[in-house]
Amino acid sequence: MKSIFEQSGGTYTMQGDYRLPNITLPAEDERPIGVWGQRRLRYLKQHHKVMYYNLLTSGTLHSHLADTEEQAQQLFSRLVKEYAEKEGVSEQLKAANQMAWVPRMNNIRERATEVVNSEVVFV
């Protein structure tokens, strides 16, 4: 008598006295995962284990992390540009007074990072 798994085309491999099903996760696309995707992965593993395992076992974890990476990178770039324009941190300032430009740009990047973390990564 065949199991439901065998009836639907599944196969087994013998490992000692046990028959283990031959199962694999579906292939995922190979989009890059950067710092934002890595932060999201760490956050899911530590704080949302059920969601992490659901994404992992459905084969969509990598694409979820790549989507998060893209969204976060776009938001970060947009925010840095907007903040810099509002505060007058421009290429002219950079050329004229680099010592004033660097801390102001670092502050802008830090604020943009906080917004991206709270709105995209740690949600």
Q: Tell me the helix, strand and coil percentages in the chain, rounded to 5.
A: 70, 5, 25
What pTM was estimated for this model as a whole? Answer: 0.76
Q: How confident is the model over 70-99, as pLDDT tens digits?
A: 999 999 999 999 999 999 999 999 999 999
Q: How confident is the model over 13-45, as pLDDT tens digits?
A: 889 999 888 877 666 667 889 999 999 999 999
Q: How confident is the model over 49-63, as pLDDT tens digits?
A: 999 999 998 889 999
User: From CA 36, how far away is CA 25, in angstroms rounded?
Assistant: 24
Say what the pLDDT of residue 104 is. Answer: 97
The amino acid at 23: I
